[in-house]
Amino acid sequence: MDKDVTGAADKSKGNVTIRDTAITVSTYTAEQPAADRILFAQTLITPGSAIDTTVFGKGSSGNAPLLDLHKSLVAQALGGNQSATRAGQPTVSFSPEMEEEETSIPIPPVEPPVETDDADQAFLPQVTDFLWVNQARNAFNVTGKGMTVAVLDTGLNTGHIDFTGRVAAQVNFTPDNDGNTADATDGNGHGTNVGGIIVAGGNHTGMAPEANIIPIKVLPNATSGDFAWIDSALQWVIDNRAAHNISAVCMSLSDSGNYTSDGFGFFATLRHAMRRKIQTLKAANVAVVIAAGNDYFRHNSQQGMAFPAIIRECISVGAVYDEDQDRRFAYSSGAQAHSAKRGQITPFSQRLHASVGPDTHTDVFAPGAPVTATGHTGPQASSTQSGTSQATPVVTGIILLLQEFYQRWRHELPTVDQLIRWLQEGGVPIFDGDD
């Protein structure tokens, strides 16, 4: 496919529709680029205009900037339309939601949980009771033993007694901790709470209390992060998956956006790179579990999910309440609930129904408001937080139990599609009109 596109591109001109403007794209041939690159000139014109674009050589004056793209990206965009490309009339439509060429994507600062220095276990037992986790562990003799989860978050309190002897490795991609790449110490608490929900085995009992954990620090303690760090972390998981027996990845993070499609657009290079890595992990039967996002209220109660949960190859998770409560709930996003019903979607949780996003809809919902688990301030500390960030590790832990049971039986990991089917078949439909 690369050869077809590269050969056809020497003389091709065509329109790429992005939002309300068109870009006339012409191949630059005055000087040949590197063998694996294709060089374009581009200019913005009014839709329907007959204006053509002059191609300028390197160093020449003019207003048509040169765009150097790897030919695999060109093949990806035009591969399904090669006959039109050869005829000089390629037409490629992209998502209007993401259109810029990316080298980085900022991540908003992470809100820390409420911490206590004692071994408070409130709320986590309610989650496990709601989901019958204790009964499942006993009936199927599963605890997550032998499985490993990579948690991409703010790091981990590795000195907490709930993780003793089960931190398989730690990696840091942020400037925190003096940039020490081997120090994933959590100075925020979010990652420690998330990790405890999955694998705590001491004061608290997480979903999979004997599983191993690898904290990968991709979110700074108090400042904005960058999805480029997460992209690097996903590559680390791919490279080290076999050595550490990593079978699941937990990502309680988002860009705070709201999307109904994962058609990211031609220039969304970082998003495409992350999706390819998630596809690679899915092909290896590694489940990548991602929070749907907490900005339903901020987005005017419109259906959708944040990035990267919108990627169809991941397992996306929304949040529900785990018990009936006759009181008012208010959240930092501005979302409110005047009461809570067991199984009711929380007012902050983003969600996408299959009727709106048939290929990218929310896969499953789980308890996420509130959940108390491990804290980062001491060896027995607890922390409490609400969010799809808490629902996501609940699902991740259940996946570890399913993987352990299946691997014992079949000597291999189940596919991600099997996991999604089992999670959905083992759940109940939500009929929730109180959003």
Query: 11-15, 104-108, 111-115: which has the minimum mean pLDDT?
Result: 11-15
Tell whether the model's pLDDT for residue 392 goes beyond 50.
Answer: yes
How far is it, in rounded angstroms, from Cα 385 to Cα 190?
Answer: 8
171 confidence band (pLDDT: 50, 70, 90):
very high
User: What's the rounded mean pLDDT across residues 27-56?
Assistant: 39
Structure tokens at 91: 């037409």
- Residue 161 to residue 143: CA distance in whole angstroms: 17
Alpha-carbon dihedral angle through residues 256, 355, 100, 31, given to the nearest 10 degrees: 150
* Tokens at 76, concatenated: 């990806």
Whole-prediction pTM value? 0.78
Helix, strand, coil percent values for the chain (each to nearest 5): 30, 25, 50
The larger pLDDT score, comparing residue 160 to residue 3, is at 160
Q: Are the C-beta atoms of residues 367 and 321 closer than 8 Å to each other? A: yes
339-368 confidence digits (pLDDT tens): 888 899 999 999 999 999 999 999 999 999
Query: Which domains are seen in the chain, by residue range?
Result: 2-93 (no CATH), 106-425 (3.40.50.200)
Cα gap 396→292, rounded to integer Å: 14
pLDDT at 421 over 90: yes
Terminal-residue alpha carbon distance, the chain: 47
Of residues 6 and 365, the one with the higher pLDDT is 365
Does the N-terminal peptide bond of residue 379 adopt cis geometry, omega within 30 degrees of 0? no
